[in-house]
A = this chain, B = another copy of it.
Amino acid sequence: MFILDEYLNKDCIAIGNFPLCQLLLKNDKKYPWFILVPRRNDTIEVFDLLPDEQHQMWAEVTTFSEILKADFKADKINIGTLGNIISQLHIHVIARRKDDATWPASVWDKLPAEPYEQNEIEAIKAHLQKIMPVTFSFK
């Protein structure tokens, strides 16, 4: 059974699952900031995944990036996997806008998170219900 890192679990809202990755919404309303986590325990670097899993993970990241860019009015998608603090492999996919809090700098190590209100989370989930591919399952 896949076990999500406790800090990812605490800082994010679970949205659902791609065939390989769990999709999380980071609880920081400054940006549409999502995190994809391959459901494989004991995985730290991308190359810890099997080649087919790497391919699947990047395909899911790219599919989701394209959706984010189109539907969340992004000027640029930022993708990153750092893992210096949380070692479980996770990929940030962030819709950046030229008027967001830290543009054109990165999102990391900048401002404290601004948690969503519950109704804002529900609105994002409802929007995602309309636009996610059929291979994605909400839970």
Q: Which residues of A contact B (CB under 8 A)?
A: 44-47, 51, 54-55, 58-59, 61-62, 65-66, 69, 76-85, 87, 96, 103-106, 108-110
Report the bound CA distance from A84 to B85 in whole Å: 24
Residues of B contacting A80 in the complex (Cβ-Cβ under 8 angstroms): 78-82, 106
Residues of B contacting A109 in the complex (Cβ-Cβ under 8 angstroms): 105-106, 109-110
Residues of B contacting A62 in the complex (Cβ-Cβ under 8 angstroms): 46-47, 54
Q: Are B108 and A106 in contact (CB under 8 A)?
A: yes
* Number of identical protomers: 2
**Please, could you name 15 A-B residue pairs with CB atoms under 8 Å apart, sorted by A?**
A44-B76, A45-B65, A45-B69, A45-B77, A46-B62, A46-B79, A47-B65, A47-B66, A55-B55, A78-B81, A78-B84, A79-B81, A80-B80, A80-B82, A85-B104
Residues of B contacting A106 in the complex (Cβ-Cβ under 8 angstroms): 80, 82, 84, 106, 108-109
What is the distance, in angstroms, from A87's C-beta to the closest C-beta of chain B? 8
Report the bound CA distance from A54 to B63 in whole Å: 12
Among A66, A80, A87, A103, the one with the most B-chain Cβ atoms within 10 Å of its Cβ is A80
| Closest B residue, CB atoms, query A85 | B104
| Closest B residue, CB atoms, query A54 | B62
What is the distance, in angstroms, from A61's C-beta to the closest C-beta of chain B? 8
Q: Are A103 and B84 in contact (CB under 8 A)?
A: yes
